Structures are given as C-alpha cells and as structure tokens.
Structure 1
Amino acid sequence: MTSYDANAEGFFGEFGGRFVPPHLEEPMAEVARAWAEAKADPTFLGEYERLLTLYAGRPSVLFPADNLTRHVGGARIYLKREDLNHTGSHKINHCLGEALLAKRMGKKKLIAETGAGQHGVALATAAAYMGLECEIHMGAIDVAKQHPNVVRMEMLGAKVVPVEFGGRSLKEAVDSAFDTYARDFEDVFFGIGSVVGPDPYPSMVREFQSVVGREAREQILSLEGRLPDAAVACVGGGSNAMGLFSGFLDDEGVALYGVEPAGEGVEVPGRHAATMTKGTPGTLHGMATTVLQDESGEPSAVHSIASGLDYPGVGPQHAYLASLGRVTYVTATDDECLDAFSTLSRVEGIIPALESSHAIVHAMKLARELGEDGIVVANLSGRGDKDVDYVAEYLAEHPRS
C-alpha cells in the first residue's frame, strides 16, 4: 500500500521540507518537536476532541442534497456541511489544534495570514477562548471584499493588519505575517491557515483536518451502505481538500477531485490561480511544491473571485498526490462558481462560500457523468455570509445573461 505521509524530513516525495532562514530553523524545529510530543499525548488529543465536540459542534452533517440532485440529474450528491461549524467553516478544526499547541508551548500570541477571513476569524476565536493575543495579516483587497469577517476578527479581540504591498491579497498576507513572525518569535506561535509552509505545518494541519474525512467516510457508509464514487473539494492551499481526501486515500475505488480557481481563464496570465494546472516545481513560503511563477522563479500574479483560493502555490501533499495520479485536479471559472453559488442557494436554501462553490461546480458535472447509480460527496467548506455583499455588488455590475 502506498504511504501518503511525509518522511522524517517532512517531504512528500520531492515536495515539502523546511526551507527557512537560519534564524528560524530552531523555532520551526521547536514547533516540530512540540507537535510530535502533543500528537502522542492522550491528554492533548482528548482535550482537542472535547473542543471539537463541545465548542466547534462536531460531527458536521453529511447532507443528502436531494433538490440539487434532482436539479442536476444523475448521481446522488452529498454535502459535508463544514459551514455549520462554529465560525462557519472547516478552519476551526485546525485553529483549535494550533491554539491548543501554542498554549502547551507557553506562547502568548498567535499570528497568521488570512484570505477570505475564515481562517482569521477561526484563529481569533480560538485565541479568545484560550486567552491568547492574536494578530491577523490580510491583503488590503480582501479587507475590502470580506469586511464582515474583518469586523468579526476585531470584535474577537484580534489586531487586523491590512497588507498594502504587491498584489495585496493572500500571498502578500503570508509574506507579511512571516516577516513579522521572523522579527519576533520568542512568545509567538505562527498559526498557518492551510496545509502549506515549512514542515511540520502541512502534516499538522492535515491531521487536524482529517476529522472531516473520517466523519464523511463513516457517514456515507451509514447512509448508503457503500463508499462514494467520488469525493470533491476546492483547492487553494488545500486544507479542506486534504481533510476530506484523507478519509478515502486508501480506497482506490473512490475518485478524488481537487477543484482550483480558473478565474477568468487559465490561458489568461495573472487572472487565475490554477496552480496544479499551470504551475511548475518551485519553492514558496518555506516548502518545495508546485508554484505559479515567472521565468525568474518569482511567484506570478493570481486572481480568483474567491479570496481564500487566491494563492500561487499549493500544499506539498497535493503536489505529491498529483504526481502519483491519486488525485485529479480540475478547474472552475469565476462565472461557473457564481452560477453554482446561485444554484445551491436557490434550490437547497444553502448559501455557500465562493471557495466551496468551486467544489459544487465539479460535483454537479460529476453527477451528470456518473448517472443515477453514482454517489458524489462534496465538501461544503464554508458558508457564504461573508460573500453575499460582494456577490450582490458584482452581479449588479456584471448581470447574468
């Protein structure tokens, strides 16, 4: 059986590792040691499970989207309702774990990046609960697009730092948070928001998110008496996807699909964030992975209507799974995403996050292809409250035909 885990050096095949400046080597090694000890400690794991149940509200529902199934025609579509978690997305799963680990390490403050704001809200929530300070770096474009989440973070006591340089989006938010952390890391824990960054973060965040896949596997077996034909999730950095996929990686009969943002078209430079589709091997934010980059190796400009997917890299385990052919990576355009957003809202009464809408696009395509005997599980990774004002303004300026 193929091993999908990282080796002792934090590599998934040729992807991963720990590429950090010399003065950050020991802080990252400290996190790695603390994580290795914590995940072997029944007391730590027990407290984490308690928080998932009593604070985050797990298990999340696996919802039979019967109206959507009838609307599309074909395979039965199930939605893993991570949008029903406390704070409205899958992000609370790893934020509680990271905050708990920071507390165990004696840290006083959490620092992180955020794109759509869901990670920022979840980390600010966990920080408030654990009695920790919190600082969230967010691209200025996303601060404007996701204003409700900015307000939530500030209400929770977090300091929100707008990032004004470069593309002013998620990649620059990561740069800014890393730079700040590098200058002051003694009492600070970097709460990375996805399965990205230097080892041990890709493995650690995946482990915290693996609850999604474990639950989904048990739930679909209970509801249908068999495994699904396919499992689908959106991919930016890729935490919600790795969470879902981890429950089915060893089930060869379950096809896995990661859906990344084609934006305005993958052939339009700078107007998509389809890393797995158009990227090449490179190094970004402390990891060897697949990167959208120019000829000099600098990260390319990227775009997505979904702020949480607006990233020129991807988690190294995703790059590895693509190299093995275990996961198929496809794309969805901004227009397809908006159509799926509207369709799910109107036929099921569920307003999805724009990020999650990418997964819904491909789940509907698969349902048509598989036919009535098929089963598709899609990860509804977040709710769309944060997006409704932006979508309303966008549709007013770009009316649908």
Structure 2
Amino acid sequence: MSNQPNKEGFYGDFGGAYVPESLRQCITELQRSYLPIIESEAFQKEYHQLLKDYVGRPSPLYYARRMSEKYGCRLYLKREDLNHTGAHKINNTIGQILMARQMGKKRIIAETGAGQHGVATATVCALMGMECEIFMGATDVERQHLNVERMRMLGATVTAVRSGNMTLSDACTEAIRNWCERPQDTFYIVGSTVGPHPYPDLVTRMQSVISKEIKWQLQEKEGRDYPDYLVACIGGGSNAAGTMYHYIDDSRVKICLAEAGGRGVDTDFTAATINCGTEGILHGSRTLVIQTDDGQVKEAYSISAGLDYPGIGPLQAQLARSGRTHVFAINDDEAIGAGYELTRMEGIIPAIESAHAVAALRKMKFKQDDVVVLTVSGRGDKDVETYLNNKAMAEGFGF
C-alpha cells in the first residue's frame, strides 16, 4: 500500500475531488501548484527553518518509564504537545501559509474543532500579516473557550457555526461555503487529511516530519530506526498520517489507531467512522462516512472536540480497508481514564484527543522488548475543565 495518491487523488477506492463548479478552478490551481512549490529548494529551506526556530522542532521522543513498566513494553511518547501552540497542527499551517503567500492569496480561512488548528492558523496568519477567519461550531466555541480567546488575541475573526450539531463537520461545511464566495483571494488551510485532492496528500506531507524524526530518534535510542508498534488517535487523521508516513510500507511495524467511540459504537452517540462508517462523499472526497442507509450524514459525537467528525481521511480509509492498520474504538470514559493515567504516571496532561491513543494501550498485548511509539498529538490545557467535569469517569480506572 503506497502513501501516495494517484493523479486523480485516489488512495485505492478513496479520495478524489468532488467540489462545486465555483471551486473547480481553485482546486485545479492548487493541484497543479502544490508539489512544485513544496518540493522547491526555497520552500524547503524556509519551511524547515521555521519548524526549527519558530515551532521548536524536533519534538522530543520521550521514554515513558512508569508507563512502560505498567504495559510491559518499551513505550516512547512523541511529544507533539510541546510544539509552539501546543499540538501537531502547526506543522501543517506553517507549510500551507507559505504556499498561500507563494500563490498570491491575501485572506486565510480554516475550520477547527478542538481549536488547535484554529490557533495554529491564527498564529501563522499573525506571523505573515494575513487576514484570518476561523469557522468553529458553536458547541465547540463554548467548550473550547480558551482556544477561542487565543485565536481572537492573535487577530483572527472566529465565526460560530450554528447549523447541524454545531461541531467540526458543520465548521468544515461553512468554511467551504465561504470559500465558494471568495475563491479569488482566499486560501483555505484545511487542518486534517480530509477534503478534496490535493489536501489529504498536502497535509500528510506537512505532517510527515513526525515519522521522519521518529526514525532517527529511535536509531539514537534503540539502535534501529523502526518501532514494533505505532499508536495514534484518529479523527480526520493528520497526526496519524504524519506518525505512520515513513512506515506504511514497512511490514515490521504494526500500526494501531484510536478513534472516538463516544458512548459506544452500538449507539447513536459515536464518531467511530472506520468501525461504523460506509462509503460515501463528504467535504469533497470519497471516504468512509457515518451516514444513514439513504446517504444522509449523521451527527458524530465524542467528548473530544477534535475527534467528533463523521468521516475520515481517504488514506486512512484505504489503510483500514486493506488491513494495514488496526483501529480501536475508544469510548469517552476510557479516554478520560487514560488521560488521568498519563497525567498521574508521567506528569503529562494530554489533550483528550491524544488520551484516546493512550487508552488503546489497554487493548493491546506486548512483549517486554517491544518498542512502542505513541504520538501525544496535543497538550491538555484546553481540556482541563472537561477532565474535571468528567472525573467520575476515571474512577473505574483507578484515578
């Protein structure tokens, strides 16, 4: 299974570019431009310089001693939570803002759920002096108030979306609608590996710095450049795509992903797209979608504002269908318990999104010498209130 799409943007059965006619020219321009721009020497030099001096890369690969003892393996945490702005999202927004500038765009829009992509987008717009508007579901505006104020402080306009269940999917829909109104001067910085081609490939390439670093960091720490297991949470799929990018064709590496089970995959309150979804079109690509039998997209639910998306990136859909990845559905209580576990055992408060990946460890069995790399995609400052309000969920896990 290749990590590269074909020329139409398909990974096997999934992908493509299903967009309204008003956006066709924009998407075609982006498809023609993105590889020549990002593969140019000038782009690569500026991009990597900003990752080093502005973002703070490389992010550490930390050996989690106490958690390793508990789970009977050699567990390393890829600390994307230590990046500037507190998550992996900045890797992508740095790259896309440089592209937007190269293409002569003056106005930036983005969608956000947990707010980390919105903050990262507002941050790079402040850096580059560009106009910025962030679309965020009204439900998420309320539960991620701190990130909303960070975006506003950075100079962005935050538009609360009140359609649907007022979360991430609705924010995506509204951002696309806005793009249709002003395609000439607007660049849409998509935050995950979703949307029409070339966005899934573009975002994956921007996040691939994660697995590139894992390779040389493991070589330094373990004397080999590959783990036995990779673990990451998955909503739209960007941190997972970056974590596994350089290992997709390496059969020695088992890839385990954690999606949001919500209140259970057998309920209507779930965002477990791979476990529950069927093939359909969502936000410009063919992928797996949580939908009714007649193709109406259902409202996804998760306690995590960044994972309650009713679709998944086409790369992740194809990898799951081919059997390359094993996907766990992690329920809300399991994620909250895992968040407290990492906090109490290693002194690291993870974003609730990342806590889903930590919870997957309980569902896996390791040998003592197995090397496991788990990506902590974001820090948990934004989620402290949610953790405290749902602390009772963690009691069953001993916290």
Who is 1:93 aligned against?
Answer: 91
Aligned residue for 1:288, secondary structure, equals strand
Aligned residue for 1:308, secondary structure, equals coil
Q: How do 1:2-401 and structure 2 match up within 5 A?
A: 2-70=1-69, 72-226=70-224, 227-269=226-268, 271-366=269-364, 369-395=365-391, 400-401=395-396
Aligned residue for 2:395, secondary structure, equals coil
Aligned residue for 2:298, secondary structure, equals coil
How many angstroms apart in 2 are the aligned matches of 1:393 and 1:373? 38
Contact 1:363 1:376 in 2 (8 A): no
- Residues 150-198 of structure 1: per-residue CA shift (max 9 Å, x gap): 0100000000001111110000010111111111121110000100000
How many angstroms apart in 2 are the aligned matches of 1:316 and 1:362? 22
Contact 1:216 1:247 in 2 (8 A): no
Q: Which runs of 5+ in 1 are unaligned?
A: none
How many angstroms apart in 2 are the aligned matches of 1:399 and 1:347? 14
Aligned residue for 1:309, secondary structure, equals coil
Which amino acid in structure 2 is aligned with residue 65 of structure 1? A
How many angstroms apart in 2 are the aligned matches of 1:134 and 1:237? 22
How many angstroms apart in 2 are the aligned matches of 1:277 and 1:375? 27
- Residues 360-384 of structure 1: per-residue CA shift (max 9 Å, x gap): 1113443xx1131211100000000
Contact 1:73 1:371 in 2 (8 A): no
Deviation at 1:329, TM superposition (A): 1.3
Which amino acid in structure 1 is aligned with residue 160 of structure 2? P
Contact 2:2 2:249 in 1 (8 A): no
Aligned residue for 1:199, secondary structure, equals coil
How many angstroms apart in 2 are the aligned matches of 1:111 and 1:363? 36
How many angstroms apart in 2 are the aligned matches of 1:355 and 1:5? 26
How many angstroms apart in 1 are the aligned matches of 2:275 and 2:190? 24
- Residues 278-304 of structure 1: per-residue CA shift (max 9 Å, x gap): 100000000000100012211111111
- Residues 9-54 of structure 1: per-residue CA shift (max 9 Å, x gap): 1111111000001121101111122212202311011111111111
Deviation at 1:235, TM superposition (A): 0.5
How many angstroms apart in 2 are the aligned matches of 1:87 and 1:40? 26
How many angstroms apart in 2 are the aligned matches of 1:179 and 1:304? 25
Which amino acid in structure 1 is aligned with residue 199 of structure 2? Y
Contact 2:86 2:379 in 1 (8 A): yes
- Residues 205-239 of structure 1: per-residue CA shift (max 9 Å, x gap): 00000000110122112211232110010000000
How many angstroms apart in 1 are the aligned matches of 2:235 and 2:153? 27
Aligned residue for 1:106, secondary structure, equals coil
Contact 1:260 1:274 in 2 (8 A): yes
How many angstroms apart in 2 are the aligned matches of 1:321 and 1:167? 29
How many angstroms apart in 1 are the aligned matches of 2:380 and 2:3? 32
Contact 1:275 1:312 in 2 (8 A): yes
- Give RMSD over aligned pairs: 1.2
How many angstroms apart in 2 are the aligned matches of 1:346 and 1:36? 44
TM-score calculated relative to the size of structure 1: 0.96
How many angstroms apart in 2 are the aligned matches of 1:186 and 1:119? 23
Q: Which runs of 5+ in 2 are unaligned?
A: none
Contact 2:3 2:245 in 1 (8 A): no
How many angstroms apart in 2 are the aligned matches of 1:81 and 1:36? 28
How many angstroms apart in 1 are the aligned matches of 2:90 and 2:394? 35
Contact 1:75 1:373 in 2 (8 A): yes
Contact 1:363 1:378 in 2 (8 A): no
How many angstroms apart in 2 are the aligned matches of 1:390 and 1:276? 25
